[in-house]
Amino acid sequence: MYADLREYLHLLEIKGKLHKIEVEVDKDWEIAAVCRNLFRKIPANDRPALMFQRVKGFAAPVVAGALGASRQVYALALGTEPEDILDKWVTAQDRLIEPTLLSTGPCQENRRMCDAVDLTALPVPIWTVEHDPGPFITSPYVCTKDPQTHVQNVGTYRVQVKGRNKAGLMAGRKQDGMVNIAKWEAMHQPAPIAIAIGSDPVIGAVSVSKIPYGVAEFSMAGGLRGAPVELVKCLTVPLEVPATAEIVIEGTISPGVRAKEGPFGEYTGYMGSWGNHTEIDVTCITHRNNYIYQAFISQMPPSESSLIRGIGREVPLFKHLKYDLGLPVKDLCYTESGGSGAILIISIAKQYPGQARQIASAAWGRINSLGKYTIVVDDDIDIHNSFAVQWALSFRVQPDRDIHIAGQMSALGLDPSVAPADVPQHDPSRLIGSRVFIDGTRKHDYPPLAVPPEEHMDFVKQNWGSYGF
């Protein structure tokens, strides 16, 4: 359990998982290129978080990859080992801990109101140079609330810096935050919004995860850290934010107003189209003394975004299928090659014919839009090994019998195969697409595997040296 981002970064450093960059960097092109090279040049398990100590023209350092540079880093954020991430999450989902409210906290050490509000004073990088129209905040913990139940939601939806006190917010219409904003709009009232940046990393982990609407992410974060998240009241809006956040941006969203947002280099690996989206009128910015700016690395997968979103989707889905519905699911994953959304692979101990399709349907029912390719295999297949999955597809599937296309389903909004690039992001044609379910399980008795008997294999393994190896 970490008090704040600083304590966590200190631990990363001790563990050799924080790489500090001393040379001065330009946030408007150089940070993005260093982050991309981190993913290109360093093997998946070795990638450290990055801390850019000197950012040209800014006093604050920029941290990137601090939640998901690698599974090793993510495990440290949760205070666990890489192989125990799933268990840690499953347990936390059953043991929510309500946040506590403090009267004041370090996130409000410095307060900028009215004319002193200036988003452009934050060192927000430009991510896809030559295509993005400007800087985007990629690790906002966007707090909104349901005007009726007052339950607060926290979600990560990118924020485009448009001026000193104007920002674009692109929350997909099925996202919990957008559902909340729409409820305020239906009452013709401005929606209050608060954006926290940088905190105990478990808050980032829950902010990008698909937990059910109405379950408060801060309570889930409490479950993950084993202690309540400490909150403080915002200064200008009726919302609460983590007391130790590095930066808090408060504001309102005017009902019915939409303005051009984007384009933005997306997690699919392509540029996403511009669209008409909500706009934030910033009322106040507070920050800690010597604040640190934190960003998530996204764009072309694999990325920090694909890693943290993947886990944040797999875990609630696994819990739902296995524990809520009692289905015989052994393992599941959204592959990072599919941006942790397009390709879903599930392994099961099938109990009766047709069960693979039932489980795929249950997965589609739990999480909207994801799983354009949903593949269900038997539990002898290691779904994290693409060779094994392709072997199952090769010899356990008859395409006319086992591949089913479902049309007119909710699509991945940012999938560039749904509509041409000049169709804006808000266009309804981007909402509908099709999916494939592939039953990769055995449908009848299978011949024996063509491998030597176990005892022969063991004998040779034990005497391996005698064969001259």
Ligand X SMILES: Cc1cc2nc3c(=O)[nH]c(=O)nc-3n(C[C@H](O)[C@H](O)[C@H](O)COP(=O)(O)O)c2cc1C
What residue ranges bind Mn ion (CB under 5 A)?
A: 153, 176
* Residue among 34 and 142 whose Cβ is closer to ligand X: 142
97 counts as binding ligand X under rule CB under 6 A: no
* Residue among 99 and 440 whose Cβ is closer to ligand X: 99
Closest CB to ligand X belongs to which residue? Answer: 155
CA distances, 119 to each of 112, 116, 123, 279 (Å): 10, 10, 9, 14
Pick one of 70, 93, 108, 175: the residue that binds ligand X (CB under 6 A).
175
User: What single-letter amino acid sits at 363?
Assistant: A
The whole-angstrom separation of Cα 69 and Cα 296 is 9
Q: List the 432-440 sheet strands across, edge first.
A: 329-334, 343-348, 373-378, 432-440, 403-410
Considering the complex, what minimum distance in angstroms separates the CB of residue 307 from ligand X?
A: 9
For 179, list phi and psi in degrees, rounded to 5.
-60, -45
Q: Can you point out the beta strands (E) in 266-402?
A: 271-272, 275-287, 293-295, 329-334, 343-348, 373-378
Tokens of 249: 């941006």
* Residue among 28 and 146 whose Cβ is closer to ligand X: 146
* Residue among 153 and 298 whose Cβ is closer to Mn ion: 153
Pick one of 76, 193, 208, 360: the residue that binds ligand X (CB under 6 A).
208
Tell which residue, 275, 278, 341, has the closest CA to residue 307.
341
CA distances, 326 to each of 42, 86, 210, 319, 356 (Å): 40, 17, 20, 9, 14
Number of residues that bind ligand X (CB under 6 A): 20
158 counts as binding ligand X under rule CB under 6 A: yes
The whole-angstrom separation of Cα 41 and Cα 37 is 6
Tokens of 313: 């989707």
210 counts as binding ligand X under rule CB under 6 A: yes
* Residue among 162 and 350 whose Cβ is closer to ligand X: 162
Q: Give the one entry of ligand X, Mn ion, none that residue 210 binds, where binding means its C-beta sits below a cut-off of 5 to 8 angstroms depending on kind.
A: ligand X
Q: Is 58 exposed, middle or buried (0-12, 13-18, 19+ CB in 10 A)?
A: middle
425 counts as binding ligand X under rule CB under 6 A: no
Q: Which range binds ligand X by CB under 6 A, 231-239, 246-254, 303-311, 391-399?
A: 303-311
Considering the complex, what minimum distance in angstroms separates the CB of residue 120 from Mn ion?
A: 30
172 counts as binding ligand X under rule CB under 6 A: yes
The whole-angstrom separation of Cα 186 and Cα 244 is 33
* Residue among 177 and 440 whose Cβ is closer to ligand X: 177
Pick one of 123, 168, 177, 424: the residue that binds ligand X (CB under 6 A).
177
For 117, list phi and psi in degrees, rounded to 5.
-65, 125
Pick one of 155, 265, 302, 339: the residue that binds ligand X (CB under 6 A).
155
292 counts as binding ligand X under rule CB under 6 A: no
Q: What is the DSSP letter of 81?
A: -
Pick one of 72, 152, 156, 347: the residue that binds ligand X (CB under 6 A).
156
Q: Give the one entry of Mn ion, ligand X, none that residue 308 binds, where binding means its C-beta sits below a cut-off of 5 to 8 angstroms depending on kind.
A: ligand X
Site for ligand X in 111-150 (CB under 6 A): 138
Q: Give the one entry of Mn ion, ligand X, none that residue 170 binds, where binding means its C-beta sits below a cut-off of 5 to 8 angstroms depending on kind.
A: ligand X
Q: Give the one entry of ligand X, Mn ion, none that residue 309 binds, where binding means its C-beta sits below a cut-off of 5 to 8 angstroms depending on kind.
A: ligand X
* Residue among 178 and 376 whose Cβ is closer to ligand X: 178
342 in Cβ contact with 412 (< 8 Å): yes
The whole-angstrom separation of Cα 1 and Cα 225 is 5
170 counts as binding ligand X under rule CB under 6 A: yes
Q: Give the one entry of ligand X, Mn ion, none that residue 369 binds, where binding means its C-beta sits below a cut-off of 5 to 8 angstroms depending on kind.
A: none
Tell which residue, 300, 273, 274, 277, has the closest CA to residue 421.
273
Q: Which range binds ligand X by CB under 6 A, 14-22, 28-36, 112-120, 202-210?
A: 202-210
171 counts as binding ligand X under rule CB under 6 A: yes
157 counts as binding ligand X under rule CB under 6 A: yes
* Residue among 88 and 313 whose Cβ is closer to ligand X: 313
Tokens of 358: 């039932």
64 counts as binding ligand X under rule CB under 6 A: no
296 counts as binding ligand X under rule CB under 6 A: yes
Considering the complex, what minimum distance in angstroms separates the CB of residue 438 from Mn ion?
A: 30
* 409: number of Cβ within 10 Å: 16
Tokens of 101: 């409210």
| Cis previous bond, 106, omega within 30 | no
Q: Give the one entry of Mn ion, ligand X, none that residue 283 binds, where binding means its C-beta sits below a cut-off of 5 to 8 angstroms depending on kind.
A: none
Considering the complex, what minimum distance in angstroms separates the CB of residue 175 from ligand X?
A: 4
The full DSSP string for 191-255 is: EEEEEEES-SHHHHHHHTS-PPTTS-HHHHHHHHHTSPPEEEE-SSSS-EEETT-SEEEEEEE-T
Pick one of 199, 298, 335, 374: the residue that binds ligand X (CB under 6 A).
298
The binding site for ligand X (CB under 6 A) comprises 138, 153, 155-158, 170-172, 175-177, 208-210, 296, 298, 305, 308-309
